[in-house]
Amino acid sequence: MIKEMSFWKWLGLLVLALFLSLLMYGFAGMVDLVPHGWWNAGICLAVSAVMVLVYSRFVRLFENENAHDLPMDRLPADTGKGLAVGLGYFCVVTGIMALLGGYKVASVGAPAGELIWAFCYFAVVAVGEEIVFRGVLFRWIDEKWGFPWALGISALLFGLLHWTNPGGSLWAGIAIAIEAGLLLGAAYKWSGTLWFPVGIHWAWNFSQGNIFGFAVSGQDAGETLLHAQVQGSDWITGGAFGAEASVVAVAVGLLVSAWLIWRISKR
């Protein structure tokens, strides 16, 4: 359907999709106003479900077909795999930092309710951003002009979005584009579902902020399980922006992305 559209119709629908993205970020902003605690965490999951429904209706309305990247039978397995990849990613990144002397755990402990809230809140963030950047932007460019263009453009814009965050810099934006933009785009293409990149993105934010205690794209994630001393060069630790801005994270992200792209090329 997308491939057969005229350029101007394609561009018009893409602009319309930007309003969808504003809706997604509006949902996320409202959720952040809800009092924290495990008793309110279900609201985050409900909002995530609504966002998925809005996306599926958008696809049905403007593309005249079902959202093929939302197969419900693959939701548990693909999301679970993504969560494992996102958590594993930051375990590796933080482990390397510790070996280099940039990360040392001082104490352990956090209120369970706050951790549950944060985990569910980051589901909203992951679902919203993956719908916009992979479900719409990446998929539409991929179907119109091919995988390399889709991967490059979606990654670049994803990095530019995060450049404007607190503590952001040109390097931070480039780092996000390389390590996360490429990885999430390749994950979407390889799996064929939104669930896999959503899981990666979800665990990426939660593990970085609420397990290992880094800032998440320049923002304080709240309570954290591990209270650590982060010291040394910003190139190693990521500085105030978080571990995402470290060369360690970029290197690990590039390796995982390259593996996924290689797998895609073998099809």
| pLDDT tens series, the chain, 267 aa | 666 667 667 777 777 777 776 676 666 666 666 666 666 777 888 888 988 998 898 888 878 889 999 999 999 999 999 999 999 999 999 999 999 999 999 999 888 888 988 999 899 999 989 998 999 889 989 988 899 999 999 999 999 888 888 878 899 999 999 999 999 999 999 999 999 999 999 999 999 999 999 999 988 888 999 999 999 999 999 999 999 999 999 999 999 999 999 999 987
Spell out the residues 6+ positions from residue 97 whose beta carbon is closer than 8 angstroms to its own.
Answer: 103, 230, 236, 237, 243, 246, 248
Residue 2 lies in a domain: no
Which residue segment(s) compose the domain that 192 sits in?
A: 7-265
Using an 8 Å Cβ cutoff, are 90 and 244 in contact? no
Residue 75 lies in a domain: yes
Residue 39 lies in a domain: yes
Residue 95 lies in a domain: yes
Residue 1 lies in a domain: no
Residue 137 lies in a domain: yes
Residue 215 lies in a domain: yes
Number of domains in the chain: 1
What does the pLDDT read at residue 5?
65
Residue 85 lies in a domain: yes
Alpha carbon 192 to its chain's center: 16
What does the pLDDT read at residue 74?
96
- Burial track 192-223 (b if 16+ CB lie within 10 A, e otherwise): ebbbbbbbbbbbbbbbbbbbbbbbbbbeebbb
Using an 8 Å Cβ cutoff, are 116 and 39 in contact? no
What does the pLDDT read at residue 113?
85
